[in-house]
Structure 1
Amino acid sequence: MELTCIIIIFLCSKLGWYVRFIRQKIKLSSVSVAFFFLFCIPAIAIPQSYKYPKELDLRLEKVLNFDFSKTNYELSAKVKNTTSPLDILPTCNQVLLKTLFYTTDSERLHKEYEINTNLLDKIEKLEKNSAEWGYVKTRLLINKTLIHFFREEYFSALWSAYRANSLFSETYYKYPDYPPLHALASVYNLGVKIVIEKNSFIEYFISKPFKVDSNLIKINWSESEKPIFDAIVNNLLNENSENKTEVKVKTETEKLIYAFYYLNSGLSQNAIDISNNNSLINNPLDNYIKGWANLTLGNYRLAEKQFNKHIESPENVVFKRASLLGLYYIEIINGSKSSRTLYLNRLSLMPKSNFFRDKMAEREIKTEHHPKLLKARLLFDAKLYSKAKNELNSVNVKKLSPEFKLEYYYRYGRILFQLQDYDYSLEKFQKALDPDMPEKSYYKAQSAYDCGKIYVIKNNIEKARNYFNQSIQYAKKANRKDIEDKAKSELNKL
């Protein structure tokens, strides 16, 4: 779901002028469509005991465990002779997983597009008057949107997203008792909330949140797919984050969702623990996840071994560029004379990827890093604030270049902020904001924002407002819309 939110934001940033032109029309048409389906189409009841057939769940479980051996990029016999929309679901899931994690080259991406198009053609030939038909076709249109996005075909992606949204709305209101629709709606609602918080104008472009039935959400309609939706929703809600390793994950995909959530939330040991789940076959991303988690925990030898395993894997999967970046970081931290040219050459031989960690690899390798500041930054990412502080205490500030001195004060301020040492944190941030410091606006934008947050805690509204306004100005210079938006959001609360 996080990726879905990023896609919507990115599409709208690319097509901002187009969206502004059509948003009022879309808003009116969305209202009309919703009104029509709410009041003019009779609702069709679904049995409360609804559940996927056992055979379907077993097929889905294999795909969600990254077992694609029977298909090999071709449609299975089951899909070729399909009579029910649900027969298409396993291959639909396969297309999604391969698009996200395996298609790092245009040829494979084109192959997934062809398979998905074939599935769309097949579903059009089936009986359309069913909840399953609308649900599965919506999923296929979501796949199509994602593939267009990865191919940088943004207008096509926008159109596919609109079609998926319209069909989902129609199906949802026509079949209000179909449990999978409520599961998909719960993910959609949370995604919409996150997206609108980041870009408020997008609310004119997408449907309003759906009214989800809590009783239908509890129905265990699938042994394999239902846990995936639950994992996404729980992660978006940040519920019980410290205890999620206790969850008995059923598939590799479910495990992957939790592992990435932990990694992105700074719960590195949790990411390692759930990736070490011995009841499941290791998926091709395990070594990357454990490598990056160990990197942030300071376990450099283990991280190096895991990054190399991921890079050397014969499978053409994502995050190999990020693993190479991890190896580069380790050399810097260990004081080795890392050859930037060598790493850039290795990077040029790797397929590109649309994931942020892969895309940042080239920029980070080209950037000069201070070993201790880099180590403190990674420890901070794992929420090891005291260790990060100790690392910065060992830095001779007087010998730092102006650029590294700015970074030092920024990182020290952030660490102290997390340790709730607000007065000392303010002191460090204000040094970062000194006019004599280099104009590296990201560090200054975040420093000013955190100063504003501290003064909110201190109930000094005037100073808080002043720092949030400073943050907005620095964020504009750095082209950091995310910091600008959250500073504006804080201003609106004052």
Structure 2
Amino acid sequence: MLINFPSLGSDLSFSSHEARAYHFILSLRFDDAAPYLSKKTAGTVYLNNLQESLKIIFSEDADLYSDYKNDFDERYEYIDDLSSSSAYKNFYLAELRLQSAFVHLKMGAEWDAAWDFRKAYKLIEENQEEHPDFLPNYKSLGMLHIMLGSVPSKYQWILHLLGMNGTVEKGIEEINKLAQSNNTFKKEAEAIRCLFKSYLLNEQKEAIEEFKKVYISSSGNLLFGYLYMSLLMKASEGQQALDLYHKLSDLSEGYYTLNILHYSAGEVYLQKGEYKAAENEFKTFIKHNTGKNLLKDSWYKLFLSYWLNGDNTSAKHAYEKAKKTGYTIVEADKHADKSLNSSTYPNQVIMKIRLSTDGGFYERAQLLLKQKAKLTTEEEKAEYTYRKARLYHKIGELETAINHYKETITTAGTQPWYFAPNSCLQLGYIYRQKGNIEAAKKYFEKVLKYNHYEYKTSITNKAKAGLSELKD
């Protein structure tokens, strides 16, 4: 392998070949990137680490992870030992730490991830002080400040003790500076901004509109296509997500195999009530899965595909398999595990209403509401009211939604279900939309008083982000 050693004071910025490799890597066209990564430079070392990080994040392959940990120190030391005053040096080092942190998080090594986040923070803060006009800094800074600002208040003292602080608002502002520039990392910054807007700030419509432009202007980018599909699904645009899935499925030659697409498509087919198609997608995902996460949930959703389609024999087999398979690290698997530990199968009518509403198939959900659901437990009564609230909220009948959310809060009480805290969160969003800041603040704060329920981390983070926005 040829080695190019940058000279003293070299700016270490991407060469035209490295910029080309970066484009291919972000598109998940790793084989096409390879010819441009043959020379060992600061840029190619950074890009190789980015490429391997993406492979592990999507595959969760334990062998790749082991190789990654062995190679990381060598990559890091190569850049760290360079005699250069370039702003790119600490930027690359901070980015390597961030990439490593996300890989560790994905593989369940939370302490290693926390250590990498802290090192990334220190490196990029130092780089910002020394090179305040260096635009790429804002990618790392923005992400870190948003994540730090999302940490619940009761844990902020730990961050301060470690010399780390940040706010969601500051982070978004920093990402915007890069996204609005003509810098090499502009597209990546635009994508990051949209993801945070959707997943943290609940600005789903705006995020989708912005990401659509990013995706269209990045023709053939499989990573952006998958992220766009995820945003559509989160915004209950199931049919659009399914249409996009079929386009992405045609991007086969030269692209990394993105098995997670089958899991996503299975979810939408399940929501739509096309159970055979859902079954096929979940089976494909399970067959090619190499990681720990989403396996339990996939078997559980395969059970739902059979059961809601009347195939009780296959449903029982999938249900028992789901009980014995996978882990409970991510929220989807935790939710599946809770359902699997129930003494009975879920209520079919409620489940169908939930799935149809989540996917944006609202006419189907409204027809299901007209069926008489047999509610046998207090949890079913609370959930049925909650599902009505979610449906009316999504179709814009806000006053009806408000009433059902409030009824859910009363019915659920302090039970360890997510229906009440998420009802509070949604009421916060509705009142903020209506301009009733005091009511919005009241319900966002009420979220923080609930403990020990599913999806607590994400619901709490969203409430905290909502409160932060109200302070502006």
The counterpart of 1:334, out of the listed 304, 309, 315, is 309
**1:403 maps onto 2:379 in alignment:** yes
In structure 2, give the amino acid aligned to 1:241: I
Map 1:161-310; keep pairs closer than 5 Å: 161-195=117-151, 204=160, 206-208=164-166, 209=170, 212=174, 217-222=179-184, 226-237=186-197, 238=203, 239=206, 241-242=208-209, 244-245=211-212, 247-250=216-219, 251-277=221-247, 280-281=251-252, 283-284=257-258, 285-310=260-285
In structure 2, give the amino acid aligned to 1:337: N
Paired position in structure 2 for 1:113: 69
8 Å contact kept, 2:286–2:298? yes
Q: CA deviation at 1:113?
A: 1.3
Paired position in structure 2 for 1:64: 26
CA 1:477–1:245: 2 relative to 1, 3 Å: closer
* Aligned-partner Cα distance in 2 for 1:187–1:463: 30
Q: Secondary structure at the match of 1:276?
A: helix
CA 1:214–1:236: 2 relative to 1, 3 Å: closer
8 Å contact kept, 1:452–1:464? yes
In structure 1, give the amino acid aligned to 2:242: I
8 Å contact kept, 2:178–2:189? no
**1:370 maps onto 2:347 in alignment:** yes
In structure 1, give the amino acid aligned to 2:251: L
8 Å contact kept, 2:393–2:401? yes
In structure 2, give the amino acid aligned to 1:273: D
CA-to-partner distance for each residue in 1:376-398, whole Å, 9 max, x for gaps?
Answer: 1112212344432321221234x
In structure 1, give the amino acid aligned to 2:57: L
Q: CA deviation at 1:102?
A: 1.2
In structure 1, give the amino acid aligned to 2:189: F
**1:94 maps onto 2:51 in alignment:** yes
Give % identity: 19
* Aligned-partner Cα distance in 2 for 1:167–1:431: 50
Q: CA deviation at 1:295?
A: 2.3
8 Å contact kept, 1:89–1:136? yes
* Aligned-partner Cα distance in 1 for 2:461–2:181: 38
Paired position in structure 2 for 1:125: 81
8 Å contact kept, 1:198–1:482? no
**1:144 maps onto 2:119 in alignment:** no
* Aligned-partner Cα distance in 2 for 1:178–1:464: 38
Q: CA deviation at 1:138?
A: 1.1
CA 1:347–1:108: 2 relative to 1, 3 Å: farther
CA-to-partner distance for each residue in 1:33-87, whole Å, 9 max, x for gaps?
Answer: xxxxxxxxxxx997xxx9732211333344334445699xxxx8987862x3102
Q: CA deviation at 1:458?
A: 9.0
CA-to-partner distance for each residue in 1:132-177, whole Å, 9 max, x for gaps?
Answer: 2212111211233234434544443322211111111112232334
Q: CA deviation at 1:294?
A: 2.6
Q: CA deviation at 1:233?
A: 1.5
CA-to-partner distance for each residue in 1:172-219, whole Å, 9 max, x for gaps?
Answer: 232334332233334444444544789765773534447749776544
Paired position in structure 1 for 2:6: none
CA 1:119–1:453: 2 relative to 1, 3 Å: closer
8 Å contact kept, 1:135–1:181? yes
In structure 2, give the amino acid aligned to 1:100: I
Point out the more displaced range, 268-277 or 192-201: 192-201
Q: CA deviation at 1:120?
A: 1.5
CA 1:325–1:169: 2 relative to 1, 3 Å: same
Paired position in structure 2 for 1:55: 17
Gaps of 5+ in 1: 1-43
* Aligned-partner Cα distance in 2 for 1:280–1:409: 42
Paired position in structure 2 for 1:40: none
CA-to-partner distance for each residue in 1:248-300, whole Å, 9 max, x for gaps?
Answer: 33422222222222222322233333333367336423222222223223333
Q: Secondary structure at the match of 2:14?
A: coil
* Aligned-partner Cα distance in 2 for 1:213–1:391: 43
* TM superposition score normalised by structure 1: 0.72
CA 1:172–1:273: 2 relative to 1, 3 Å: farther
Output the aligned Cα RMSD: 4.4
8 Å contact kept, 1:249–1:255? no
* Aligned-partner Cα distance in 1 for 2:319–2:379: 23
Point out the more displaced range, 54-63 or 184-193: 184-193
Larger CA Rg, structure 1 vs 2: 1
CA 1:191–1:114: 2 relative to 1, 3 Å: same
Point out the more displaced range, 322-331 or 164-173: 322-331
* Aligned-partner Cα distance in 1 for 2:293–2:389: 34
CA 1:231–1:370: 2 relative to 1, 3 Å: same
